Structure 1
Amino acid sequence: MVSPGILLVDKPGGLTSHDIVARTRRAFGTRRVGHAGTLDPMATGLLVIGIEGATRLLTYIVGADKTYTATIRLGAGTTTDDAEGETIETAQPAALEAATDDRIGAGIVALTGAISQVPSSVSAIKVDGRRAYDRVRAGEEVELAARQVTVSRFDVLETRRDQDVIDLDVVVDCSSGTYIRALARDLGAALGVGGHLTALRRTRVGGFDIGGAVTLDQLDGAPMLTPAAAAARTMPVLDVTADEARDLRHGKRLSGQADRLEASEVAAIDPDGVLVGVVEARGRDIKSAMNMPEAQR
């Protein structure tokens, strides 16, 4: 029987997140595999994979903040806001020359903090039941509503200029749901030169870092984080006694103990270091919000 766990995979370019899930299913011999947050085929980097009962944890991981490194190309806009689309605008040399480091810096400041962002039209957001990118590829016009996101860091690591483009290597810390392609598009628009991504790599999802990830060649026998270890990287921990663990697993509440919780969602871990599940306050009591399958703890 396959043990439950969280696997960190370094996705290469050219493959979809679904491709990685399919390969993980084959490597581990189970259908119960899911991931916490899609990466575009062009993108590389950290994909958090849940296996067997640990797929239940993905709900709590998918909304975590993330870190990306990227290359933004100023001087051209594309249909997809990345290098895979068709070029729809190019900047004149004078416009590029006017995009000084100071103006680029000011544009980045305007895209930092709590901002309203319109996602790229080729995103995976569903519009009337269909993915936006499917509608775009079918020739439909897609307009997505702006959403509030938070960009807590947007730093330029290196700037490279030539006659036709300006390439910016950047690092971005952001809330879940932020589109780095849209940051490139909006920075280019603010400077009047167009912009798109030529490279994107996710290096962190919440408490999970690319440094602990395996490559596709290392999938067979790859080490996993136990559900307890993964939950502890995602939320505060509540150590419970064996009797409390039994009660929680049986759907009972821990009466009058809600003041033991440090957050709205807390990982309950039994004396053997096994994840019981995720608990929450219900009035003055502690109640299970999600229990791990008992046969797969």
Structure 2
Amino acid sequence: MTDGLVVVDKAGGMTSHDVVSRVRRLAGTRKVGHAGTLDPMATGVLVLGVNRATRLLGHLMLTEKAYDATLRLGVVTTTDDAEGEVTATAATDGLDEETVRAAAAEFVGDLLQVPTAVSAIKVGGKRAYQRVRDGEEVELKARPVTVHELVVHDVRLGETAELDVSVRCSSGTYIRAIARDLGARLGVGGHLAALRRTAVGPYDLDAARTVDELAEAFTVLPIADAARAAFPARELDDRQAGDVRVGRALDVDLDGLTAVFAPDGEFLALYEPRDGVARAVAVFTG
């Protein structure tokens, strides 16, 4: 099986682990991982690595992600999304569209965001959501995230209010935390009603296939193509390629994390500038 990425359009109701298990069977290998989970209620882009490409995933998680979402105001839940139990409600008939849009605009930029208590973040070696399930009180610290863009497409006002948004943000940003915090900012509470991830870095829905489609025709984006799509590329000569194969530093100028390739197009490694030279971050040969 070719080393590479599989871009899945995850269906609602499936966990990310469900998708990994299906792809392991289709690929005939246990070496399958994913670049960032999607909650069961969420749909959309889930990027999986197969064989050696699993080692790319940690670097892909540093890229930005994009989502389409529906945020519901006036209802607070235990999980900050539609799957949780309702803990509070408030009337939203006093809101107007201008106020809602102005409040949403405040969530663009560099933010300190408190993740939802049922996130997969580890607290003392244990997932936060597991601590919540075990009846523990979980308080997570605010973390820096960046929301590059938040576009409000539609605002529907009434007994409860909803807005449809598109968000482009850094990895690690919780859209349900934006829904929660927007509701709090407006004084009525809120939660995430629907979520569809439309892109992870350069991999979008156009490149994605459903699990059923993959079962009919399983395809992998080769690791060299995946690396070229996600990182700046640098072509090397034979001598430099030989140095990379043994992890030596290169006397070349790089602007940042870069995928380096042998003269025949083979993807060799990820390198970054450090201490005046280019040094290996991860080598994929051998």
C-alpha separation between the residues in 2 aligned to 1:251 and 1:172? 39
How far apart, CA to CA, are the structure 1 residues paired with 2:208 and 2:42? 15
Question: What is the CA deviation profile of residues 244-274 of structure 1, one whole-angstrom value per residue up to 9, with x for unaligned ones?
Answer: 21221022333xx232x121x1100112211
1:59 to 1:99, Cα distance in 2 relative to 1, 3 A = same
* TM-score normalized with structure 1 length: 0.93
Counterpart Cα distance in 2 of 1:10 and 1:155: 23
* Equivalent-residue separation in structure 1 for 2:230 and 2:261 (angstroms): 13
Is the Cα–Cα contact under 8 Å of residues 42 and 194 in structure 2 kept in the other structure? yes
- State the partner residue of 2:9: 10
The answer to whether structure 1 residue 174 and structure 2 residue 169 are counterparts is yes
Question: Is 1:236 equivalent to 2:229 in the alignment?
Answer: no
In 1, are the aligned partners of 2:75 and 2:90 still within 8 Å (CA)? yes
TM-score (normalised: structure 2): 0.96
SS of the residue 1:98 aligns to: coil
Q: Which residue of 1 aligns with 2:208?
A: 213
Matched residues in 1 for 2:172 and 2:274: separation?
29
Determine which of 247, 254, 258 is the counterpart of 2:252. 258
Once the two structures are superposed, residues 163-185 of structure 1 have per-residue CA deviations (whole angstroms, 9 ceiling, x without a partner) of x2111111001111110000000
CA drift of 1:293 comes to 3.4
Q: Which residue of 2 is the match for residue 285 of structure 1?
A: 277
Residue pairs, 1:26-65, within 5 angstroms = 26-65=25-64
CA contact (8 A) 1:237 1:267 kept: yes
- Give the residue type in structure 2 aligned to 1:26: R
Cα shift at 1:282: 3.9
Match of 2:99 in 1: 103
Q: Which residue does 1:275 correspond to in 2?
A: 267
Contact 2:96 2:157 in 1 (8 A): no
CA–CA separation in structure 2 for the residues paired with 1:53 and 1:178: 27
RMSD of aligned residue pairs (Cα, Å): 1.3
Task: Look up the SS of the partner of 1:69 in the other structure.
Answer: strand
Where 1:271 maps in the other structure, the secondary structure is coil
Alignment partner of 1:165 is 2:160 = yes
Distance in 1 between residues matched to 2:181 and 2:137, nearest whole Å? 19
| Matched residue, 1:135 | 131
Q: Secondary structure at 2:221's aligned position in 1?
A: coil
Instruction: List per-residue Cα deviations over 1:194-224 (Å, max 9, x = no partner).
Output: 1011100100111111110010112234222
Report whether the alignment pairs 1:193 with 2:188. yes
> Percent same amino acid among aligned pairs?
50
Give the whole-Å Cα distance in 1 for the aligned partners of 2:4 and 2:31.
11
Gaps of 5+ in 2: none
What do the CA deviations read for 1:267-293 (whole angstroms, capped 9, x no partner)? 001122110111123433333221113
- SS in structure 1 at match of 2:172: coil
Corresponding position of 2:149: 153
Q: How many residues align?
A: 285
Q: Which residue of 2 aligns with 1:19?
A: 18
Give the partner amino acid of 2:43.
T
Partner amino acid for 1:213? Answer: A
Counterpart Cα distance in 2 of 1:241 and 1:6: 26
Q: Which residue of 2 aligns with 1:249?
A: 245
Gaps in structure 1 of 5+ consecutive residues: none
